[in-house]
Amino acid sequence: MLRKLGDPGLAWLAADRAMTVCRDADDDALTLAATGHLTRVLHTLGRHRHTVEVALTVAHRLTPPDPLTAPPTHLTGYGNLLLQAARGAAGRGDPVGVADLLDQADEVATLVGDDRHDHGTSFGPTLVALARVVTALDLDQHTTAVTRHRSALDSTAFHRLPPEPRAAHLLDVTHGCVRLNDLPEAGRALLLADRAAPAEVRSRPAARETIRTLLRRCGKPHPGIVRLAEALRIAV
């Protein structure tokens, strides 16, 4: 929540302390989940090398000795850390590392089966597919990313996800497309995120700043973006 509200420094502290509590409690599933939150904060801060290192260190330390018999909650946290490491690798401009980590995550997702949402952590086949979209954006693979994104939007599995992970993905696409100057696609993703989970858009300072960017850089902003800006009292 602190990360979403624009205080990644305090979010880092909270996640780090959560990891300590979970580790002291000797609860591997909770430790994996808490580490996932920490790595998301590190990625937000642009600490991509640390994102990879922390995610893989904890994931490998808590790798199930026999994944086929591991509890689903353990596999969810483990697979999620592989996805976070892939985001970090993409931020470092390492396409080979990204591909390897996503392939590993795919194997774990096959064991998990359906998408799961344990301890605030979402993971499964659909989340791996969405990670392929956002890592492609991070690697400036614009055409590949947009093609995969539109395919995901057409899938039943995407619409079965809870509102928060759907909105989180759409906001990642929004920010990536703004960076790559694909403003129409960014605007569409932002409006879909607002439809899926309005609070995820309207309460985030970063999303509000993205709205301002779209208003500034679009010669004729989409009417939906204008209405959203007016609802949030953002100067048009």
Q: What is the pLDDT of residue 87?
A: 97
Q: What is the pLDDT of residue 236?
A: 67
Q: Cα-flanking dihedrals φ and ψ of residue 59, to 5°?
A: -60, -45
d(CA 234, CA 229): 5
Cα 119 to Cα 72, 90, 122, 151, 190: the distances in Å are: 12, 26, 8, 28, 26
d(CA 141, CA 153): 18
The domain spans of the chain are 1-126
Low-confidence ranges of the chain (pLDDT < 50): none
d(CA 161, CA 159): 5
Q: What is the pLDDT of residue 67?
A: 76
- Residue 117's DSSP bridge partners are 122
d(CA 217, CA 236): 12
Select the CATH number that applies to the domain covering 1-126 from these four: 3.40.630.40, 1.10.10.60, 1.25.40.10, 3.40.190.10.
1.25.40.10
The model's pLDDT over 122-141, given as tens digits with 9 standing for 90+, comes to: 999 999 999 999 999 999 99
The model's pLDDT over 66-100, given as tens digits with 9 standing for 90+, comes to: 877 888 888 999 999 999 999 999 999 999 999 99
DSSP 1: -
